[in-house]
Amino acid sequence: MTTREGSAAFVAPLLVLAFGHMLSNMVRTLPAISADVLARDLGVSAEGLASLTGAYHFAFAAGQIPLGVALDRFGVRPVALTLLALVLAGSVLAALVGGPGGFLLAQVVLGLGCCGMLLCPMTLAAKLLTPARFGLWSGLIQGVGNVGMLLSASPLAWLVEQQGWRAGFWVAGGLAIAVAALVARVVPAPVPEPGPHPGLLADARQVLRLGTSRRLRGLMLLAFASFAVIIGVRGLWGGPWLMEVKGLGRIEAGHVLLLLTLALIAGPVAAGVLDRRLGHRRALLAGGHALAGLFLLLLAAGGPGGWLARLLGLPALPVSADAALLFAFGLAIAIQPLVFAMTRAAVPPAEAGKALSAVNLSFFLGGAVLQAATGPVAAAGGVAMALAFLGAMVLLGTALFLATTRREA
pLDDT of 310 strictly over 70 = yes
Is-contact 220 362, C-beta < 8 A? yes
Contact between residue 129 and residue 5 where contact means Cβ atoms under 8 Å apart: yes
33 neighbors 152 (Cβ within 8 angstroms): yes
Among candidate residues 273, 272, 288, the one with its CA nearest the CA of residue 138:
272
- Domains, in order of start, for the chain: 8-186+200-404 (1.20.1250.20)
| Residue scoring higher pLDDT (15 or 291) | 291
Mean pLDDT to the nearest integer, 204-229? 84
CB 385 within 8 A of CB 232: no
CA atoms of 183 and 235, how far apart (whole Å): 27
CA dist 34 and 39 (Å) reads: 8
Model confidence pLDDT, tens digit, residues 6-49 = 455 678 888 899 999 889 888 877 776 777 788 888 888 767 77
Structure confidence at residue 1 (pLDDT): 42
Better-predicted residue by pLDDT, 18 or 161: 18
Question: Do 296 and 387 touch, CB atoms closer than 8 A?
Answer: yes
Higher-scoring residue by pLDDT: 275, 349:
275
> pLDDT at residue 188 above 90?
no
The model's confidence at residue 3, banded by pLDDT at 50, 70 and 90, is: very low
Number of neighbouring beta carbons within 10 Å of residue 295: 24
Q: Which of 395, 143, 363 is nearest to 261 (CA)?
A: 143
Could you tell me which residue, 216 or 73, shows the higher pLDDT? 216
The pTM (predicted TM-score) of the whole model is: 0.75
